[in-house]
């Protein structure tokens, strides 16, 4: 890895990770690495950099592989590989640690770098970005426009899509983001560079480890950001700094996506302006919010997103609004009453409880009978374990669970006597018993060493573990041993 001499514009070419990359190091002060949006060259960061230099900040801008004048990878890499290239670039420039600002795609890369090489990042700024897969999705029209680099090649195409892609001031004046120049179009991404960046971000997510980022972090998001909508999560709460955000994610087995937030119409879709098409109720709250209770009504049928948009858009101002109740999804009272309660035990101790009551006839299929086979198809070694209440062990096993922890049995072991445990084993048996004649009661007295594939003493009764062949064989052997006593 090496760095070549800079010219009078601060441009430096470095050899890093087998590529020749163009960088720009300008100003004097604490170093700040700038990672820009997908397809953007370092020229687009120049106006922003000029506002930082008087503040004692040195800026480091980089043309990502395949953008600007940087070489592209021979073979596309995932986000982890891109972060490794950024590390090698910092090595070539002689920086051990920097502050880091990432915008849009650059914010995704910044998250990956802060997680992958935390010692290289002092402080972190994430602007107009998100956690990737599992986060708030962008509008399909925005994603479609992002799929092509034409906005870096054609000024006319940029002007047609600027409002859709960037929101804010671009809605009134698309040229406002051009910074009075044509820098956007001087170095468009290469033919292979732009698709490689799309490949890197496809399927990427930071949700499993985002909470582990420990650098001081500033998150910037505008009021009009097409990539993220501003609605709160359903029945959501957070701490005073919004570092911990908690909300519901529901699925009725019919919708094409999770129900994570209220659905509503924009001004252009609702003929009477913006309008939320949901039914939810704030049932109770103390003045300090130390206790909260909430109810959301979730249809069992597929939520009619397209129908609500199309029908309301077609109606005039003199027509009544087309509401969710009018779509028919609540016919025959088929819906879920989802209750959520929060209670504060102390300043930093919040108890949350969520439960649901099914209204109307049950769905044709249960949730787990659909989810478990799909998860096992992708992850054959996945093991499903349920903590069962209300004597649901047998039901859960029929739905696909491997193991069921019998909560009622263990409560009796801890808090009740031997007669109660014996009655539980004899009277709450979820599997058919073999014909043991008059000696069946002796099965309730067995305390045996079930060390097959696991250690320790366990009190076992049929149905507690039935999915794995080894367990099934072992439990049958216990029954035979009991029959022979």
Active site residues: 104
CB atoms within 10 A of CB 360: 13
What is the residue-wise DSSP string for 369-386? HHHHHHHHHH-TT---EE
Contact 280, 297 (CB under 8 A): yes
C-alpha–C-alpha distance, residues 475 and 461, integer Å = 8
Q: Which residues contact 131 (CB under 8 A, 6 or more apart)?
A: 111, 205, 206, 207, 210
Extract the tokens encoding 228: 């993220």
Q: What is the DSSP letter of 65?
A: T
Of all helices (H) and strands (E), which one includes residue 356?
Answer: strand 349-359
Closest residue by Cα to residue 146 from 198, 221, 208:
198
Q: Render the burial of 91-126: b for 16+ CB within 10 Å, e for the rest.
A: bbbeeeebbbbbbbbbbbbbbbbbbbeeebbebbbb
Please work out, in degrees rounded to the nearest 5, the angle formed at the alpha carbon of residue 63 by the alpha carbons of 59 and 66: 170
Distances (CA, A) of 190 to 193, 197, 225, 231: 5, 11, 27, 37
């Amino acid at each position: 890895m090496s760095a070549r001499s800079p010219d009078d514009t601060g441009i430096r070419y470095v050899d890093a990770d087998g590529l020749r990359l163009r960088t720009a190091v300008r100003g004097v002060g604490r170093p700040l690495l700038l990672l820009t949006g997908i397809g953007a060259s370092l020229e687009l960061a120049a106006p922003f950099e000029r506002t930082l230099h008087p503040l004692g900040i040195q800026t480091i801008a980089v043309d990502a592989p395949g953008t600007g004048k940087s070489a592209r990878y021979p073979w596309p890499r995932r986000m982890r590989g891109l972060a490794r290239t950024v590390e090698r670039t910092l090595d070539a420039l002689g920086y051990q640690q920097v502050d880091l600002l990432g915008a849009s795609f650059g914010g995704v890369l910044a998250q990956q770098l802060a997680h992958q090489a935390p010692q290289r990042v002092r402080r972190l700024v994430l602007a107009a970005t998100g956690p990737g897969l599992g986060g708030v999705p962008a509008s399909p029209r925005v994603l479609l426009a992002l799929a092509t680099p034409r906005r870096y090649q054609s000024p006319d195409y940029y002007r047609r899509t600027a409002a859709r892609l960037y929101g804010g001031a671009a809605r009134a004046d698309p040229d406002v983001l051009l910074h009075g120049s044509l820098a956007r179009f001087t170095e468009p991404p290469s033919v292979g560079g732009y698709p490689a960046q799309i490949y890197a971000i496809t399927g990427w997510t930071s949700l499993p480890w985002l909470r582990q980022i420990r650098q001081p972090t500033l998150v910037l998001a505008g009021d009009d950001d097409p990539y993220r909508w501003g609605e709160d999560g359903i029945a959501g709460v957070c701490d005073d700094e919004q570092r911990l955000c908690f909300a519901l994610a529901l699925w009725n087995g019919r919708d094409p996506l999770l129900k994570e937030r209220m659905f509503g119409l924009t001004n252009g879709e609702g003929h009477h302006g913006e309008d939320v098409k949901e039914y939810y109720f704030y049932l109770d709250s103390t003045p300090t919010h130390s206790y909260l209770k909430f109810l959301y009504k979730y249809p069992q049928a597929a939520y009619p997103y397209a129908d609500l948009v199309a029908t309301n858009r077609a109606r005039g101002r003199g027509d009544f609004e087309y509401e969710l109740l009018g779509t028919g999804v609540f016919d025959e009272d088929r819906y879920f009453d989802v209750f959520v309660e929060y209670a504060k035990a102390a300043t930093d101790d919040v108890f949350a409880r969520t439960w649901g009551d099914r209204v109307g006839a049950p769905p044709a299929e249960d949730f787990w009978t659909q989810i478990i086979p799909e998860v096992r198809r992708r992850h054959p070694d996945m093991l499903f374990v349920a903590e069962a209440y209300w004597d649901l062990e047998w039901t859960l096993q029929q739905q696909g669970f491997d193991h069921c922890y019998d909560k009622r049995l263990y409560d009796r072991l801890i808090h009740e006597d031997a007669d109660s445990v014996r009655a539980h084993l004899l009277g709450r048996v979820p599997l058919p018993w073999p014909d043991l004649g008059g000696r069946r009661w002796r099965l309730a007295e067995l305390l045996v060493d079930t060390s097959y594939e696991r250690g320790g003493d366990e009190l076992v009764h049929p149905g507690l573990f039935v999915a794995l062949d080894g367990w099934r064989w072992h439990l049958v052997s216990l029954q035979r041993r009991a029959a022979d006593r």
